[in-house]
Structure 1
Amino acid sequence: MRCAILAFLAGVCWLQTRAELPPPAYLAGALAAALVLFLLRKRAATLLAAAILGAAWSAWLAHVALADALPREQEGRDVTIVGTVDSLPHEFDGGARFHLRVERVLTPDAAVPPRIAISWYGQPGATEGLTPVEPGERWQLVVRLQRPHGNANPYGFDYEAWLLEQGVRATGYVRPAGPRNVRLDAFVPRPGHVVERARAALRRHILRELDGKRYAGVIVALVIGDQRGIPQSSWDVFNRTGISHLVSISGLHITMVAALAAWVMSALWRRSFFVEGAALPLRLPAQKAAALAGALVALLYVLLAGSGVPAQRTFYMLAAVAAALWFGRVVALSHVLCLALLVVVLIDPWAVLGAGFWLSFGAVAVILYANLGRVQPDAGWRRTLGMAVRTQYAVTVGLVPLTMLLFAQVSLASPIANAVAIPVVSLFVTPLALIGALLPAALAGWVLGLAHLAIEVLADGLAWLAASPLAVMNAPAPQPWIFVLALAGTAWMLAPRGWPHRWAGLAAWAPMLTQLPSAPPAGTFSVTAFDVGQGMALLVETERHRLLYDAGPQYGPVADAAGRILLPYLRGRGIGALDALVVSHSDVDHAGGARTLLEGVSVAQVHSSLSAGHPVVQAARRHSRCGAGQAWSWDGVRFELLGPTPQSYEQVGLKANARSCVLRVSAHGKAMLLAADIEAAQEMQLIETAAGQLRADVLLAPHHGSGTSSTAAFLAAVEPRLGIFQVGYRNRYRHPKKEVYERYASLGIRRLRTDESGAVLLRFGRTLDVSEFRAERRRYWHGR
């Protein structure tokens, strides 16, 4: 059974790597083929049949999910709908974000998917006199929708896949439509709404009692699994110390609560506490009653947790153990784990795309493998403590290859941090948080305050530990053969006692831990134009140097392109330092991520046109103003700043765009011109002062292709073969402007847009090689 389930999983994983879904007609043939293979009753044939079933099942669910796509012609149209709030709303400065289950579409000829993700900017109801949205409410809203779309970058988060897993087939926002945005019902009774309303009430209760506390979001996460209230600065500390798995409703917490419920039920049942004089154990054995109570409490906790993959896995395993005990069966834990895995991928085949799936099941698999033959019932406290230490060692070592594959880093501080954090969070903070969440306000403040104090003291210690440069080891994400070799070495190290030379397995880690970031050959360079939405960010690499041109936009008060896109990419490549950062000018779509970038990676030099008092200038280790005439060479590659002019800094009132840093990078007769947001006047100035230096094979379209830039004279002077437009999908500026985009085409210039191509990689050598991330890593849900 276990091998067949793993083969089914392999089929599911294969399907999630396809660029196109197999046609529905093929699925019937696949089922017939699987049936024939099963009837052969051969092991290999059975495994192949299970894999075919996994792929076919996933494909069928994908066809069903994608059938509800928003038609392209409906994008950007104002539509009036009626629906219920179907998720726990996330409130942020300036609005709220939530899922809406659509019940009716009131606009004629409009087609809207049954589940959509909505943002409501401005305090919901601020002008209409209504209260903020709550789960289970029925609203009539005027919304503007678009098809699912996310930034597409190497080592980045696939937002479109996440929306598909959530059953969301359109995103949008509420339009300011006055009385047409109205709450129709305060609560629509449905099971899902009851659960989400309970989660909302618990969150509100906790935040009210911990108002203004630094780690109130952590307490909320431990009670209801909502991690959105934890700031990025705290996540940085938790990730560097390897305890982020504890800052949620983990499998350990669910198991602990279920075990406590089972123990209490068993004690009460044995004493026939519920009915005076009743011999309850004679009617139902106490073990069965305890198993049922534990499973039910675990289910309730999982529902409150938002049913994440680790929580689901834990509940299915507990339910399987409870069922085995109820029916008097003996099952191996490895069978229970595989059964839980099967249920998860049957319900949600897209779960395999998330890191949590692999880390959750991987951790349990490592524990079972490492403790094979070592579990001793009724062991003393010394043996129990020794088992706990060996288990922590096994999980720490066993997940290193997977952590390096998923995050390109491993926390060296994790063993120390977890040795303290696991008992503090699991045995002290979590029980107090759960009790405090259920107590009335008069008592809850003291209990929740004590839980918060413990987290605060722990977090301060972790922050000190995380500040050490030795807290984390970074290396490029391993290639497949390196990852498999490291897994084999890990299995050797964690083999049962008596296995020869277990320490030798560490040698298999050497290729994984000693990789160096890839780099272009000497005398050549590469440029990665990231898909950051409506903004700019490009990484220029030579043989031994790296320069980032602009740092992308700021998306919100605590989110920017550096945190979401640039730093994950640099970590994935194993890049821990940059030789230079050029911030072309002060607009937030160019400088918005610079502070976060400077905090996340070492930057030797910052060049910019920013004022001396700008926060980026203040945070820079070394800073210099951009100025025409500055030039340097790295590894046979020449860098030239063509603008702005030194005199422009003296012109009071000059627009930031007009003072953009213009950079030309060239080698072997190939060049790229990075023109930031210069406009027609600056283009003409460059033609007059640097006409002989403008020619380039690739042009980063000035000002994202706005109507004020890319004049015919400038394009004629540059003579690009390729134009790159860094723009956001359906951006509000409507960049690139139609007439400008067509101007490039009329001159025979190839055009690439990051909203369509994703990140674009350019390799400048004897030839110019171009690759588009969406084309090379296309999946069946992209653009659907």
Structure 2
Amino acid sequence: MRSAIVGFLLGIVFLQMQAILPAIWLLACLALAAISLVCATYKIPYWQLKFSVRLLAGFACGFVWAALFAHYYLRHELAPEWEGRDVTVIGTIASLPSYFETGARFNFVVEKVVQQNGESPVIPKRLALAWYRNGDQEQTPQPLLTAGARWQLTVRLKRPHGSANPHAFDYEAWLLERNLRATGYVRGDQGASSGNRQLQPFVFSPGNLVQLMRGRLRERILDALPEHRYAGVLVALAIGDQRAIDQSDWEIFNRTGISHLVAISGLHITMIAGMFAAVMAALWRRSFFTNAALPLLLPTQKVAALSGALTALAYVLLAGFGIPAQRTLYMLLVVALALWSGRIASVSHVLCIALLVVLLVDPWAVLWPGFWLSFCAVGVILYTSVGRRPAARDDGNARISKWWQGLRAAGATQYAVTIGLLPLTVLLFGRVSLIAPLANALAIPLVGLVVTPLTLIASALPTPLSAWLWHAAHLLLEQLALLLGWLSALPFAVWQAPAPQAWTAGLALLATVWLLAPRGWPLRWLALTGWLPLLLDQGSRPPAGEMWVTALDVGQGMAVLVETADQRLLYDSGPYHSPESDAGNRVIVPYLKARGITALDALVISHVHNDHAGGALSVMDAVKVGTVYSSLPPQHPIVQAAADHQNCHAGQAWQWGEMKFEMLYPDIEQYQASAAQQKSKPHMVSCTLKVSHGPHAILLPGDIEAAQEQQLVARYGEDLKSTVLLAPHHGSGTSSTAAFLAQVDPQIVLFQVGYRNRFHHPKQQVVARYQERGTEGFRNDEGGAILLKFGDGVAVDTYRNQRRRYWYGR
């Protein structure tokens, strides 16, 4: 059975790497072949061959199961002709609404679609919606949204789409896993005039009831702890909603390696279930201090198992039934079932059955780090503990001996998990917290055994008792956070590493298995050499004689990385979204760190517009930046934060090896224009940079328009000629004039635009202008990040082409 389940896992992993889904008839053939293999195993006498056949049968079953899931989910698509059009729908709010500064986000289950001018829109059943406040009325209250409420809403939708960059979060896969087959926003405010109104305050269903309870509990905690910094952490521990935790706190939790505690993780569920089971066992054993002799009616062990399983189920439901919590629940249920059936369940069987149930429920779980970390952590514990623990010695003091043995076991487990997950952590996150063992040794007992129980007990108590307990839990978190903040500030707290190659990660994994082998295994210390390729990896670099250019997919904005083996320049930094989110911390910094880039020699911010300068501060906080070139005013925060700032102007030039940089615009006199003119048209001083490498060049003009293009043509003429052109102003109708294109004469044009952006960039007439010249065009909204390699020629590719997946729908 275990071999078949491992094969089932491998089959699902293989399916999730496919560019297209196999046809149904092919899946039917594979299913029949799998059934034949299963039947054949009963007649195979050799266990080695039987193992291989079961593995292969499980592989085929996993592949077919995941493909059928994908076929079913992908059927529920938004028809392309209904993208960007107003649609009126009736349905219920199916998630806990998440409020932010300018509105709220929630999932919506469509019950009915109102006909639009006699047409019947084809709308998926589940939508991810945002409802923004009216920008013209800052005091407009946000409509009160509650889970389970039935609403009529006028919405504008689009098909699932997210930024596509190397080493970045796959938003489209995340939407597919949750069966959210369209995203969009609510049009207008609440009221009859807009068509948005609540029809029923609550529609009963088990799911809606759970979500409503979660929402009420979140409100109680936040109301009891107003203006308390870690109230969001208590909400996360109670209901699994982490959205109220500040980004700066997340950074501390990640650097100290305790982020798994700031959620309803498997550890919390196991601890809470174990504590409740122990209490119930003690009370049952004593018959609740009566003479009923309850253990004679039902064994205490069974009562404890049932109590723990039911507690885990209730806690997981309160957490929103997330996939990480489900894994632990299934394992506890398997153990409880084994005890009740009188069967002895080995830990490996429990782990494999839990693995099977998770994959049956969610085949896309294999795409996320939490899946691998949780199962691998349990696997490491089993590998290093089962059959190895020494027997307790009787030293005359049983209590002290028991505590000492428990302390040793906990230390050994923490050591094994830290070492065992190191290669996987580097592979998934690119960094390892070196102080995690110490931080976890302090945080696990405090958060798991004190803070979380206090939070949950308070949830069941009336006011003011609940408020007192939540304040006590918050006080403990504050003291823990002070210590964690000090630990995270240590210079050696985190070891940063580039994303490793597959062979270095595999070698390190084998070395780890060797290192954690039982005592007596020969030359265990030699296993450390297997880590060397992983530890010494400096990330990918352009080879000598090449220049790489990456136009990152940052939505409607610009961010272009230019690099050789030794130098790197970033042109623009993408848009700013919120205090917690911008293109810098969401796209650019993860990409730089995954590539092993810890410093930029230069940063160019073309002008002050949000879609060009929005992520700069996040980049400057995360990596060392040499010189900042910009057209920003002296009081701008980016200028103030720069260690070395220079206003970009025509005539600036420098050379890095074979790369030559020339700033072509603006003239230094442009800065003498009136402040009002610069404020209304900041693109008039947009830094225009030409980067040459051998016979080829790329021209980066920012948001210049026709007037600035005319000045460039008049001044430089044929010197503007470049192999690659970043389309001025994202391909707007006010740029890319014929005269300018005639002088640049690009072979390749890059359009950095967002999917279905509100400006409709690039304009069709501009695209046609490039096509008439025979210029090959590449767009971020279609291909994701655009990757160019300059050598003897210019090779270009896109991330979506390199990493084709069936859910991209291209």
Category of TM-score, reference length = shorter chain: over 0.9
TM-score w.r.t. the length of structure 2 is: 0.94
Deviations along 1:358-403, whole A, 9 cap, x unmatched?
1111111111111131346877110110000010011111111001
Aligned equivalents of 1:656 and 1:769: distance in 2?
34
**Counterpart position of 2:472:** 450
Query: Partners in 2 of 1:606 and 1:659 — Cα distance?
Result: 16
Distance 2:437 2:288 in 1: 44
Q: Which residue of 1 aligns with 2:28?
A: 28
Q: Is 1:252 aligned to 2:270, yes or no?
A: no
Please show how residues 85-100 of structure 1 align to structure 2 within 5 Å.
Answer: 85-100=93-108
| Contact 1:528/1:762 (<8 A) preserved | yes
Map of 1:225 onto structure 2: 240
Q: 2:170 aligns with which of 158, 172, 175?
A: 158
Cα distance, 1:747 vs structure 2: 1.2
Aligned to 1:13: 13
The CA distance in 2 between the partners of 1:544 and 1:638, in whole Å, is 14
Structure 1 counterpart of 2:182, one-letter code: A
The separation in 2 between residues aligned to 1:371 and 1:271, in whole angstroms, is 33
Rounded to whole Å, the distance in 2 between the matches of 1:694 and 1:193 is: 61
User: What is the CA–CA distance in structure 2 between the aligned matches of 1:33 and 1:82, rounded to whole Å?
Assistant: 45
Residues 119-140 of structure 1: per-residue CA shift (max 9 Å, x gap): 0001899999884111010001
Instruction: Give the one of 180, 185, 193 matched to 1:173.
Output: 185
Partner of 2:70: 62
User: Structure 1, unaligned stretches of length 5 or more?
Assistant: none
Q: 1:702 aligns with which of 728, 735, 738?
A: 728
Letter in 1 for 2:28: A
Distance in 2 of aligned mates of 1:521 and 1:260: 58
Q: Does 1:351 align with 2:356?
A: no
Distance across 1 between alignment mates of 2:449 and 2:288 = 27
Q: Report the CA distance shift for 1:522/1:201 in structure 2 as closer, same or farther (over 3 A).
A: same
Distance 2:629 2:225 in 1: 43
What is the CA–CA distance in structure 2 between the aligned matches of 1:679 and 1:284, rounded to whole Å?
82
The secondary structure found in structure 2 opposite 1:604 is strand
SS of the residue corresponding to residue 498 of structure 1 reads coil
**Which letter maps to 2:786?**
V
1-structure distance, mates of 2:16, 2:166: 17
Contact 2:134 2:140 in 1 (8 A): no
Matching residue within 561, 566, 569 for 1:547: 569
Q: After TM superposition, give the deviation of residue 452 of structure 1 in Å.
A: 1.5
Measured against aligned partners, the alpha-carbon deviations of 1:319-347 in whole angstroms (never above 9, x if no partner) come to: 11111111111111111111101100110
Offset at residue 658 of structure 1 (A)? 0.9
Q: Which residue does the alignment assign to 1:628?
A: 650
Does the 8 Å contact 2:134/2:188 carry over to 1?
Answer: no
**Which sections of structure 2, spanning at least 5 residues, go unmatched?**
42-49, 393-400
1:323-472 correspondence to structure 2 within 5 Å = 323-375=337-389, 380-472=402-494
1:396 to 1:282, Cα distance in 2 relative to 1, 3 A: same
Partner of 2:128: 117
State whether structure 2 residue 195 is matched by structure 1 residue 184: no
| 3-state DSSP of counterpart to 1:40 | helix
**Counterpart for residue 521 of structure 1:** 543
Give the letter aligned to residue 210 of structure 2.
Answer: V
Report the Cα offset of residue 623 of structure 1.
1.1
Structure 2 counterparts to residues 474-513 of structure 1, below 5 A: 474-513=496-535
* Partners of 2:605 and 2:244 in 1: CA distance: 30
**Matched residues in 1 for 2:281 and 2:443: separation?**
30
Write the distance in 2 (CA, Å) between the matches of 1:383 and 1:346: 39
Which segment is superposed worse, 444-453 or 194-203?
444-453
Q: Provide the secondary structure at the position in 1 that maps to 2:555.
A: coil
Q: What are the superposed Cα offsets for residues 623-650 of structure 1, whole Å, 9 maximum, x if unpaired? A: 1111111011112210111111101111
Supply the distance in 2 between the matched residues of 1:126 and 1:427 (Cα, whole angstroms). Answer: 44
Write the distance in 1 (CA, Å) between the matches of 2:52 and 2:373.
28
What's the offset of the Cα at 1:783?
Answer: 2.9
In 2: Cα distance, 1:568 partner to 1:252 partner: 28
Other structure's SS at 1:781 match: helix
Which amino acid in structure 1 is aligned with residue 515 of structure 2? M
Q: Where does residue 289 of structure 1 map in the other structure?
A: 303
Is the CA contact 1:663–1:674 (under 8 Å) kept in the aligned structure 2? yes
Runs of 4+ in structure 1 off by over 6 angstroms are 123-130, 376-379
Matched, 1:782 2:794: no
Deviations 1:447-471 (A, max 9, x none): 2122112222222222222223322
Whole-Å separation in 2 of the counterparts to 1:345 and 1:686: 59
Alignment check: 8 A CA contact 2:7 2:54 kept: no
**Cα displacement (A) at 1:278:** 3.7
Does residue 147 (structure 1) correspond to residue 159 (structure 2)? The answer is yes
Spell out, residue by residue over 1:42-69, the C-alpha distance to the aligned partner (whole angstroms, 9 max, x if none).
Answer: 3322211110000000000110000011
Specify the alignment match of 2:395 in structure 1.
Answer: none
CA distance in 2, matches of 1:622, 1:761: 29
Q: Helix, strand or coil: the match of 2:807?
A: coil
Q: Tell me the CA shift for residue 477 of structure 1.
A: 1.2
Match of 2:288, SS state, is coil
Residue matched to 1:693: 719
Give the TM-score taking structure 1 as reference length: 0.97
Structure-2 change in CA distance of 1:131 and 1:640 (3 Å)? closer
Q: Which residue of 2 aligns with 1:206?
A: 221
The Cα of 1:690 is off from its aligned counterpart by 2.1
State yes or no: 1:733 paired with 2:796: no
Letter in 1 for 2:768: E
Deviations 1:206-237 (A, max 9, x none): 11111111121111111111111112211111
Change (3 A) 1:778 1:134: same
The amino acid of 1:192's aligned partner reads G
Q: How far off is 1:146 after superposition? A: 0.5
Q: Paired residues, what number?
A: 783
Q: Would you say 1:76 and 2:73 are equivalent positions?
A: no
SS in structure 2 at match of 1:132: coil
Look up the match of 2:149.
Answer: 137
Q: 1:772, CA displacement in angstroms?
A: 0.7
Moved more, 593-602 or 376-385: 376-385
Question: What SS does structure 2 have at the residue aligned with 1:605?
Answer: strand
Residue identity opposite 1:776 in structure 2: Q
Structure-2 residue corresponding to 1:38: 38
3-state SS, counterpart of residue 281 of structure 1: helix
Q: Over residues 52-91 of structure 1, what are the superposed CA-to-partner deviations in whole Å (9 max), with x where a residue is unaligned?
A: 0000000001100000111111111111111111011111
1:49 and 2:57 matched: yes
Verify the 8 A CA contact 1:372 1:496 in the aligned structure 2: no
Q: Does structure 1 conserve the Cα–Cα contact (< 8 Å) formed by 2:86 and 2:154?
A: yes
Code of the aligned partner of 2:719: Q
After superposing the two structures, state which structure 1 stretch, 769-778 or 105-114, moved more: 105-114
- Cα 1:144–1:745 shift into 2, 3 Å: same
2:590 matches 1:607: no
Amino acid across the alignment from 1:552: G
